[in-house]
Amino acid sequence: MVLESILVKKSTSPFLIFLVSAIISLVSIFISYTVFKESTGLFTVVIISLTMVPFINRVLRKEEIETEQVGESQGLMERHWDVVEVFIAIFLGMTFALSTVFIMLPDDTVQAIFNEQIREVKIIQGNFSFGNKFFDILVNNVGVLMLSFLFSFLIGTGAILILAWNASVLSTAIGIIAKSLGGIEGVPIAVLTFLPHGTFELIAYFVGAIAGGLISASLMNKKSRKFVYILKDSITLIMVSFLLLVVGAFIETIIMAA
């Protein structure tokens, strides 16, 4: 695939990654809506993920090698921030493309394309209507973090499926709010609704995916002589991810609700 080839060969520019990710998302929606009309939203996520696999696999493998070479000469986040930037660019590209489609298309078409995501948004809203909101949100987000870690560890690039699904759900939530506020002009408010806490949550998921991917790549690399060091780095990254989720849940339930 041409887009996949661009990502694999020229992966240094976050803007290029963002742009190609957005285009891949649009192409995936078109293919899914044309071929899989009954489950367009779900298959859109699957096609996006499959297209991204070679690129993510290359990024995680490169990160594992660089972590072994650099060692403790750099700080934890300094060692891994370049990969976090890659995940951020991919996620923002998907979210931008999918939310734009949601806002621009007629409601009946949107319902057909994003049916699964709309249902998920309603479920999330219902789950957090009662009880200890901080605890419920934190538990839910930790569950997503663990899935990102496990998918990345077990499948290598499996975390992209979780990230693509979350991008599609976030795009749907942004689209619903924006449309209720008049469409395009409602986008800034819709984005600001999720930005303060969502930034911490998303970075936590990215860091968790990197932690799983590092261990997976190290295990697959039979020549790796620093597995214990990689494991230590991954455990630390998971702990950082959890702290980010705590901060995100606190902002969402305490600060924004005040």
Q: How large is the angle between the packed helices 115-127 and 159-180, nearest 10 degrees?
A: 80
**pLDDT tens-digit map of 195-231:** 888 899 999 998 898 888 878 777 776 555 667 777 8
Both tokens assigned to 102: 């949601």
Q: pLDDT tens per residue, the chain (258 residues)? A: 555 565 555 556 888 889 999 999 999 999 999 999 888 999 999 999 888 888 887 877 776 677 667 666 666 667 778 888 888 999 999 999 999 999 999 999 999 999 999 998 887 766 655 446 888 888 989 999 998 898 888 776 667 888 899 999 999 999 999 999 988 899 999 999 888 888 999 999 988 988 888 787 777 765 556 677 778 888 899 999 999 999 999 988 877 655
Buried b (16+ CB within 10 A) or exposed e, 72-82: eeeeeeebbbe
Question: Under a CB-based contact definition with an 8 Å cutoff, are residues 213 and 60 in contact?
Answer: yes
For 187, the token pair is 């986008």
Between CA 100 and CA 65 the distance in angstroms is 37
Residue 36, CA distances (Å) to 39, 76, 152 in order = 6, 43, 27
Residues 6 or more apart from 236 whose CB is under 8 A from it? 76
Domain boundaries, the chain: 2-255
Residues 242, 258: Cα–Cα separation, whole Å: 23
Tokens of 175: 């689209």
CB 68 within 8 A of CB 231: no
* pLDDT given for residue 231 in this prediction: 82
Contact 84, 206 (CB under 8 A): yes
pLDDT at 230: 78
Residue 125: predicted pLDDT: 67
Residue 43 CA to residue 195 CA, distance in Å, equals 27
Output the pTM of the full model: 0.86
